[in-house]
Amino acid sequence: MSRDRIDLGILGETKAADFLKSKGYKILARNYRTKLGEIDIVALDRGTVCFVEVKARSTDKFGSPVEAISGFKMKQISRAALLYLKDRKITDRSARFDVVSVVFNNNRPEISLIQNAFELEQRFAL
């Protein structure tokens, strides 16, 4: 991965975290990594644990960032989310998967949030 793409991803995650805070989310973790996968942001929204995938792009010319989330990526996020809940002994809390899209048009971020963007596959459920 090129340095420019890495920098874009870091900037996108920072903008996404700031955006979520402005919406009342409490950031619990950033870049939560496990052997099963990574979660960009873990946050709390009115008592619900939110596992947030951030997709940043320099342009939406080739489609929206949200369209870039594959089924494989959803499975990775789901597995990592279950591990997060189990490790913290909070499997009784409500949880959801959100996606934040950050598109830098003319270096200005356009940010959108999709709550409940996808569901945990049944075979991964507790």
The domains of the chain, with CATH numbers, are 3-124 (3.40.1350.10)
**How confident is the model at residue 69, as a pLDDT?**
84
Residue with tokens 């189990």: 86
Task: Provide the whole-model pTM.
Answer: 0.90
Q: What is the mean pLDDT of the chain?
A: 89
Which residues in the chain land under pLDDT 50? 126
DSSP 83-102: HHHHHTT-TTS-EEEEEEEE
Local structure of residue 90 (DSSP, 8 states): -
57: number of Cβ within 10 Å:
21
